[in-house]
Structure 1
Amino acid sequence: MAVYQPLHQHSHKQSSRYGSVSLGLRTVLAWLLSALLGLALLHLLRCSQCGARERAMVSPLLQYVTSTYSQAVSTYSCDYSEGQWVQAPGHARRYNGTECNVKGSENCIRNGRPDTGYLDWRWQPSPAGCHLPSFDAASFLAAVRGKHVAFLGDSMARNQAESLVCLLGASFPYRMVYQDPEPGTRKFWRWAFPSHNVTVSVYWAPFLARATGKSENYSEPYSSVYLDALAERWSADADAMDVAVVSTGHWFWNPSVYYNGSVVLGTHRLSDLNHTEIGFFSPYREAIRMTIRRLVSSAGRARPRTVVVATFSPAHFEKEWDDPATCARRLPYREGEREVDAMHAELRNIVREETAAARIDGGRGATVEVLDVTKLAAMRPDGHPGVYMKRDPFARGVPERLQSDCLHFCLPGPVDTFNEILLQLLTKRR
């Protein structure tokens, strides 16, 4: 069976090859710019006895070389996947979630969350000299002018899509083009920003592949996932997507039966069905691989496409899901206080390996990027709605049991940082 297979035997080798090429380019660039900077410095030192006119001629050259060196090295070496959260008062206070119609359970301020300190942090990448700029709505819309930006996947894809609409809508007018007719359903929404002829869509496809059962009806006991076919709605529109942001993972933990056509490949967390337990790593890899193939397969069209695959964003349920204190932390984790665990690291590696393989295969004309948010998300237990997924949860006292959301992020909140990095991926020099 060709669809369900373990990791490519050459995938690690491919990743290494891609990384070595990138490192080599950065090394050559840094060496050349260092040499040019050194020559400029030497000339300036030798010119210590020169007249004011000669020094005035050298100084602008030195400033230009220094600026170019700093910008170029930062552009080619900036790694946003590692870093720490640093205090930055007001950094994430950029829009009103009510005004941009975010999902009610993620509108934490409206729901009465009393502390707003979770809005006063920014992500500081680890590499020296690397800085993640604040989100610039004008720059983002200019980068995607005339294009369709689509988010595919689970509710984290929706969380990021709504964050983007709010960040853009704080500066530019927009309108809702389509929304699900059923109240509270957000499986397919679309917005338009007429000033730049930009469309933003979100497609509900928690497995990316075609799925029935619980993923469509929460009252069902499990999902049936077909790893030989993609979810119909997004795959039908794939050719019209200019920027595709893929984000999924959490549904693969749920009870599921995996198929290749009518043949059962195995199950996850369904031992009573008497099928082989196959876990979730391999189905997740196959879904990511199949999705990337579809998105790059039609990339030979008139204009280029960018495929961005987000890594796994961990949840922070520290107690039972209905314990009022299950995610009650009010500060980010400090560096070293919380590491990415092995399970989340493997999901992260799968995305890295599959995107690297797509790049080495040529991408068929598409640009394939990784939006690595695993660590920065893992360090933000304070950014979830928690019990404030509902309005005024303690209005009648503190109940013994109360549903909490320790998975999605408040809007505004840490998920806005995902879009800050997305902007850099779309505008970086190549």
Structure 2
Amino acid sequence: MGAYKPLDPHILKPSSTNRGYFLSKPICTWLACGFLCLAALHLLCCSPAGTRQAVFSPLRQYINNTYSFVSSVPEQGKSCNYSEGRWVWAPGHARRYNGTECNVKKSHDCIRNGRTDTRYLDWRWQPAGCPLPAFDANAFLSAVRGKHVAFIGDSMARNQAQSLACLLTAAFPYRLVYRDPGRNKYNFWRLAFPTHDVTVSYYWNPFLVRATGKAEDDSIRYNYVHLDEPGDRWGADADTIDVAVLSASHWLLNGGVYYNGSEVIGAHNAGELNHTGVGYAWPLRMAYRTAVQRLSSGRPRTVVLATFSPSHFEGSTAFNATACTKKEPYKEGERDLGWIDKEMRDIVYDEAKAAKARSGDGSAVSIEVLDVTTLAAMRPDGHPSVYMIRDPFANGAQEKMMSDCLHFCLPGPVDTFNEILLQLLRKRR
């Protein structure tokens, strides 16, 4: 076919001498539009649900694919934007499991550690314009039947992975396939759910790409990060992964020395090493890009990029018993996102969009964004704070008390991440 040529409007202009019309063409056009509107209204109001779904689903899909990237999920025939909304009071909504019974990291098991204020469990995320269904373990396992779901990334990826493990094991039988021994037991583990032939894994890899130094041994001062290579462990297993949830950001802010092959490209927060400063944004882009490229070959799969989950340290210190003691979520408009929060979120969207463009429309790899930045930023009340340890005030308040104002208690607000993840996966089906 030749190049597209616009139609000449003069060819379509009706002749003023044509007497063959009972009604003028403009009137006919308006009548036709009115008839179509009435037909659509009849379908919406009077036809069975199955008919409505069959007629309008392709149109919704076209609109979603054309005008929105990944920030919405379908909800009863309409688009549901889960990334913006508010927390509403819903007593008991988040009391879904016992963190001790599902072996969460002890520093996140707030109730076990003596936190008596449990109002943080009584809130539900209300997205803009539609409800977000409570997590349904059977629906999740059915959506990923026969698949390997892998969380790859930093401690927020682990926080979400443990949340999912608890939500699923509270409802279905499981077996522990593997867990790293000793102090690293939370850094790599795998669970199997035989009723649905589902495997859930977590890979500790705070830069997504291969990193040595502090990421492996906290006594080492710097991270040495190879931006051109995926993480060793998950990279070796990548061809077995059907759903990958990637989450990395906070360690990029901390910085490291960055490599391409054996060549040092630059560094961030390592001024005394006399390397070129590269900041945190560009390395974050490259880390996501390398990870997504590794997951864009081989089997069909869904790759989910999670956005930045902000911390709530008051006074910028973790050695303070009052670092995060707020008892309720922020209200809409009460506190704006910081510019770093926005930039980190935007980078994830940019890389997801670029990955989708590279793979093309016919790709077997689906790219999604799990946008949790706003809903997480509004939950300063959901962190362990000083309840990282058991009975922190047993000997009275100390001058210096370590507080965790980044991760969330389990159960807690991070369970909402998995409510949204479920809707993304159901959308892909």
Category of TM-score, reference length = shorter chain: 0.7 to 0.9
Alignment check: 8 A CA contact 1:160 1:419 kept? yes
- Counterpart in the other structure of 2:412: 413
Residue correspondence of structure 1 range 279-318 to structure 2 within 5 A: 279-298=279-298, 301=299, 304-318=300-314
Q: Distance in 2 between matches of 1:159 and 1:274?
A: 35
After TM superposition, the structure 1 stretch with the greater mean CA deviation from structure 2, 262-271 or 199-208, is 262-271
- Could you tell me which residue of structure 2 aligns to residue 178 of structure 1? 178
Aligned-partner residue type, residue 391 of structure 2? D
Give the Cα separation in 2 of the matches to 1:63 and 1:221.
60
Tell me which residue corresponds to 1:368: 367
Structure 1 residue 275 displacement after superposition: 1.4
CA contact 2:121–2:411 (8 Å) conserved in 1: yes
Give 1:231 shift: 1.1
Distance 2:144 2:225 in 1: 33
**Equivalences for residues 209-248 of structure 1 within 5 A:** 209-248=209-248
Q: How has the CA–CA distance of structure 1 residues 70 and 313 changed in structure 2, closer, same or farther, with 3 Å as cutoff? A: farther
Alignment of 1:82-93 (within 5 A): 82-93=84-95
Match in the other structure for 1:109? 111
In 2, Cα distance between the equivalents of 1:32 and 1:342? 50
Aligned: 1:341 with 2:338: yes
Letter in 1 for 2:394: A
Partner of 1:195: 195
Matching residue of 2:403: 404
Please give the secondary structure, in 1, of the residue aligned with 2:276.
coil
Letter in 1 for 2:266: G
| 2:252 alignment partner, SS class | helix
Residue 275 in structure 1 maps to residue 246 in structure 2: no
Equivalent residue runs for 1:156-175 within 5 Å: 156-175=156-175
Q: Does 1:125 align with 2:114?
A: no
The residue identity in structure 2 corresponding to 1:340 is L
CA RMSD of aligned residues (A): 2.3
What is the CA distance between 1:61 and its match in structure 2? 3.0
Distance 1:391 1:32 in 2: 69
Contact kept in structure 1, 2:227 and 2:260, CA below 8 Å: yes
SS in 1 for 2:218: coil
Look up the equivalent residue of 2:117 and give its one-letter code. Answer: D
- The alignment of Structure 1 onto Structure 2 pairs a total of residues equal to 377
Partners in 1 of 2:37 and 2:326 — Cα distance? 45
- TM-score when normalising by structure 2: 0.83
Q: Deviations over 1:49-104 (max 9, x none)?
A: xxxxxxxxxx8538877899999674552111111111111110000101111110
User: What's 2:6 paired with?
Assistant: none
The one-letter amino acid paired with 1:203 is: Y
One-letter amino acid matched to 2:168 = L
Q: Give the structure 1 partner of residue 151 of structure 2.
A: 151
* TM-score (structure 1 length as normaliser): 0.83
Indicate if the aligned counterparts of 1:305 and 1:367 stay in contact, CA closer than 8 A.
Answer: yes
CA contact (8 A) 1:37 1:66 kept: no
Q: How far 1:115 moved relative to its partner? A: 0.4
Structure 2 alignment gaps of length 5 or more:
1-33, 61-73
Give per-residue Cα distances to partners, 1:1-37, cap 9 Å, x unaligned.
xxxxxxxxxxxxxxxxxxxxxxxxxxxxxx9996544
Is 1:353 matched with 2:353? no
Structure whose residues are more often helix by fraction: 1
* Contact persistence 2:148–2:242 (CA under 8 A): yes
- The aligned residue for residue 11 of structure 1 is none
Q: CA, structure 1 residues 64+204, in 2 after alignment: closer, same or farther (shift >3 Å)? A: closer
Q: Shift of residue 376 of structure 1?
A: 0.5
Task: Give secondary structure in 1 for the equivalent of 2:47.
Answer: helix
Structure with greater Cα Rg: 2
Identical pairs, percent? 60
Give the structure 1 partner of residue 424 of structure 2. 425
